[in-house]
Amino acid sequence: MEETNNSSEKGFLLLGFSDQPQLERFLFVIILFFYILSLLGNTAIILVSRLDSRLHTPMYFFLSNLSCVDICFTTSVAPQLLVTMNKTDTTMSYGGCVAQLYAAMGLGSSECILLAVMAYDRYAAVCRPLHYTAMMHPRLCASLASVAWLSGLITSLVQCSLTVQLPLCGHRKLDHIVCEVPVLIKLACVDTTFNEAELFVASVVFLIVPVLLILVSYGFITQAVLRIQSAAGRQKAFGTCSSHLVVVVIFYGTIIFMYLQPANSRSKNQGKFVSLFYTIVTPLLNPIIYTLRNKDVKGALRTLILGNAKHKEVVEYLFT
């Protein structure tokens, strides 16, 4: 019993890239830079979606929800990762590991559902333009966003609760950068067939099913776009959907690689870099992709910045 409880008393040793100190120092700078940019970019998306009345549409409502998920997701990982990489003692408390486990699993699952919901929104906009307002009314949008958040919460409670109950028999070394379900399952000193099967089922539900729904949506969208006679109209329709499609490919590609690929088919560093990519890099790519490829967001940002600048000039003039 003493050996079993060892991990909960002393926490875990996150090995990360400790065997490559030069790489670890380089990654520390990159992670810090990306984390700050991610916070700024996603916060900007939320602000312009709220403050600019032209962006009070279902598309930007879901986009602001996606930015909120990304802020919470990367914050559940990046600060602890930076602290761990910046000290010789890489111990992470048991409570901190469990909290990160629940948060990352729940938020990642919510993002999977949210991206599928955004694909449905694009389908309604392109394939049912005359009925779009009726189909995507505010109450339905709020309900779909709530389903995304709640589904992530439920799967996190189920999946992580089953994982933390596994006896670890004193195993404390996590050869990874964050606390994730597949990594903790490997530490268990009992048969984990049920846990692995449950993880596979959850991965299918939150990864494969949303991807299939997204592909079906974009199949209908492609058919509808190709029927448009005007080249400018086709370009506008594809431009409306391309940003979301790029985000989908990047996010689901890395997550599927981590959760559905057999563990023995990849090196230990591959899993670390993949986790690093979808927890740190992907949340930054979302605002970049949507901002650089979206004239509405760029216009709203320009208006917001110029408006604040003019307001500041007026205030300075009045008080000087």
In a domain, 23, yes or no: yes
The answer to whether the Cα torsion of 33, 34, 37, 43 is positive or negative is negative
**Does 225 map to a domain?**
yes
Judge if pTM exceeds 0.85: no
Residues 6+ apart with CB under 8 A from 17: 23, 24, 27, 85, 177, 269, 272
Residues 91 and 124: their CA atoms lie apart, in Å, by 49
Give the number of other CB atoms < 10 A from CB of residue 156. Answer: 22
- Number of helical H runs and strand E runs in the chain: 14, 3
CA distance 286 to 54: 20
> In the sheet that 173-174 helps form, which strands lie side by side, from edge to edge?
91-92, 12-14, 173-174
pLDDT of amino acid 261: 63
Across the chain, which has 320 residues, the per-10-residue mean pLDDT values are 50 76 84 92 88 83 92 91 78 87 92 90 87 90 94 92 85 80 85 87 87 88 80 69 75 75 60 82 80 66 63 43
Task: Classify residue 129: in a domain, yes or no.
Answer: yes
Find residue 173's DSSP bridge partners: 13
pLDDT of residue 81: 86
Inside any domain, residue 314: no
Task: Give the integer Cα–Cα distance in Å for 51 and 18.
Answer: 44
Residue 238: which CATH number? 1.20.1070.10
φ/ψ of residue 19, rounded to 5: -80, -5
286, 263 contact by CB (below 8 A): no
- Give me Rg for the CA atoms of the chain: 22
Question: Which pairs count as long-range contacts for 298-306, CB under 8 Å and 24+ apart, including other chains?
Answer: 299/54, 300/48, 300/51, 300/52, 300/54, 300/55, 301/44, 301/48, 303/52, 304/47, 304/48, 304/51, 304/52
Q: Is residue 126 part of a domain?
A: yes
d(CA 280, CA 278): 6
Q: What is the pLDDT of residue 117?
A: 92
Q: Residue 301: inside a domain, yes or no?
A: no
Question: What's the token pair of residue 191?
Answer: 């048969």
268 in any annotated domain: yes
Tally of structural domains, the chain: 1
**Phi and psi torsions of 305, nearest 5°:** -70, -45
State the residue range of the domain holding 272. Answer: 12-294
Residue 305 lies in a domain: no
pLDDT given at position 3: 44
